[in-house]
Amino acid sequence: MKKMFFNSVLVAFVLLVASCGRQPEAKIDVMSYNIRLDHVADSLNNWKYRKDNAAKMIAYYAPDVVGMQEVVKNQLDDLKNRLPQYTALGVGRADGKEAGEYCSLFYKTDRFELIKSGNFGLSETPDTIGVKGWDAACERIVTWAILKDKASGKKLAAFNTHFDHVGKVARRESAKLLLAKMHELAEGLPIILTGDFNGTVDSEPITILSGGGMKNAYSVASTVYGPAWSFHNFGRIPVENRQLIDFIFVNGQVTADKFRVIDDKPDDGYLSDHTPIIAGLTLH
C-alpha cells in the first residue's frame, strides 16, 4: 500500500513539473483589411463616407491584431481617433515617415506589451524604405512587431504587407525576401502574416510562402465561412469573377481554428473595395 501511494505521488509530481515547464496556449483573433486609400475619384465610396463604418466594423469584431493596407496618414489618424483601444504601428512607404501608404499594424493595447517593432522595404535594398523593387510599380513595405500577451506570457511575431499589383518579379522576390526576414526577425516565435498579396491562392507568391513553411489560414482552418473572394472593387466585379487575394498566414507554432471572409455591406455604401478577413488562431 505504501509503495502504491509513493508511486501515485511520484506520478503527480512528474505531471506537475511537466505542466509548469509548458507555456500556456493563447487564442487570438487576427484581421487583415485593405481599407482602400482616400482617393477623390472614389466619389460616394470616398473614405469620408466609409470611415465611421470601417471603425465600427473593427470595433464589432474586436480582433486582437489588425493588419491594414493602403492606409494614408489622414486615414491612420481617423482610425486612431475612433479606435482608442488599439496601438497603431507603421510608416509611410514613400519616405519611411508619413508620405505614401502605410501597412499599419494595430494591436489591443490592454492585451499586448510591445517588445519591439520595425519596418523594411520589399526591394533589393530592404533596409531603405522608399525604393521600388524589381519591376514594381510602387514602393512596397512590411511593418512588423514582436508582441507579448500579458495574460499568457506568450510572444508572437506579427508581419503585415501589401505586394505590388503590377510587378510579377516583384511579387515573387517579395515572397522570398519576406520568408527570409520573418525567419530572421521572429527568432523562433509563432508568426502571423497578414496582407493583400495581389495573387490568388495558387499564384507564385502564395505558393512560395506555403513552400517556405507558412500555412494559409483559409486553406487549413477547421472552419471556413463566407465567400471565396475578397476583392470586389466596390461591387463592380461580377460575383463569379471575384478572387481571394487577401490572406492570413501562420507558421507551425500556430493553429488556424477558423477563418471568415467578412462580406458585410452597410446600407449606405461599402467598407472598402476589399472585404476584411478574420481568423481565430491558437498560439502554441
Give residue-wise pLDDT tens across range 27-52.
999 999 999 999 999 999 999 999 99
- Residue 85 has phi, psi (to 5 degrees) of -75, -5
Q: What is the mean pLDDT of the chain?
A: 94
pLDDT grade for 263, boundaries at 50, 70 and 90: very high
108-130 burial: b if 16+ Cβ within 10 Å, else e? beebbeeeebebbbbbeebeebb
**What pLDDT does residue 209 have?**
98
Cell digits of residue 240: 463569379
Q: Closest Cα partner for 30 from 283, 282, 284, 279?
A: 279
Give residue-wise pLDDT tens across range 135-191.
999 999 999 999 999 999 999 999 999 999 999 999 999 999 999 999 999 999 999
Which parts of 65-160 fold into alpha helices (H)?
73-82
pLDDT > 70 in the chain, percent: 92
* Contact yes or no for 261/61 (Cβ under 8 A): no
Contacts from 179-183 at CB under 8 Å and sequence distance 24+?
A: 179/208, 179/209, 179/212, 179/213, 179/214, 181/120, 181/126, 181/142, 181/144, 182/144, 182/157, 182/251
Give residue-wise pLDDT tens across range 221-254.
999 999 999 999 999 999 999 999 999 999 999 9
CA 23 to chain centre: 24
Average pLDDT, integer, range 67-88: 98
* Contact yes or no for 232/251 (Cβ under 8 A): no
**What pLDDT does residue 23 have?**
58
**What pLDDT does residue 6 have?**
44
Give residue-wise pLDDT tens across range 177-190.
999 999 999 999 99
Cβ atoms within 10 Å, residue 98: 12
**What pLDDT does residue 22 have?**
56
Cell digits of residue 132: 521600388
- The CATH classification number of 25-283 equals 3.60.10.10
Which parts of 62-196 fold into alpha helices (H)?
73-82, 168-186
Sign of CA dihedral 4, 9, 10, 12: positive
Q: Closest Cα partner for 33 from 266, 195, 219?
A: 195
* Contact yes or no for 65/30 (Cβ under 8 A): yes
Instruction: Give the range among 7-16, 17-26, 72-81, 256-265 with minimum mean pLDDT.
Output: 7-16
* Contact yes or no for 217/279 (Cβ under 8 A): yes
46-66 burial: b if 16+ Cβ within 10 Å, else e? ebeebbebbbebbeebebbbb
Predicted TM-score (pTM) of this structure: 0.92
pLDDT > 90 in the chain, percent: 91
Rounded distance between C-alpha atoms, residue 14 and residue 41, angstroms: 66
Sign of CA dihedral 24, 29, 32, 37: negative
